[in-house]
Structure 1
């Protein structure tokens, strides 16, 4: 995947911040949500091309957050 592909979407993922705020590891989140560490890492690093609503729901329930806490739109000014 080229750097241009990574910039293709304008979505920022704040999973690192949420995990740190909750004192949780990616491994722990993976176990609680039922998603592989590899897939969560892809999401965390902004390389995911899509996310299922069911996965987003489980992540938000586990982290006690809203989708907007996890994802935001990068503004191009």
Structure 2
């Protein structure tokens, strides 16, 4: 998938665990884990907004697009 998730980098930067983020955002740990591992097919803007608010970052800090060379 050419869209990459950099949630681990932002969590490390904020010295926060996935469990702490889950509690702060109000999203289940299982759903955040799916997002973190890149297995999510979609993300709601409200979820992205909440994550960015808690981690004090921009959506581009969490998501990047790495296009196919083909």
For the superposition of Structure 1 and Structure 2, which TM-score range results when normalised by the shorter chain? over 0.9
Partner of 2:6: 14
Cα distance, 1:17 vs structure 2? 0.6
Aligned residue pairs, count: 69
1:52 maps to 2:30:
no
21, 34, 39: which is aligned to 2:26? 34
- Runs of 4+ aligned structure 1 residues displaced above 3 Å come to none
User: Using CA pairs below 8 Å that are at least 6 residues apart, which structure has the higher relative contact order?
Assistant: 2
TM-score using structure 1 length: 0.86
**Structure 2: gaps of 5 or more residues:** none
Superposed CA RMSD in Å reads 0.8
TM-score using structure 2 length: 0.94
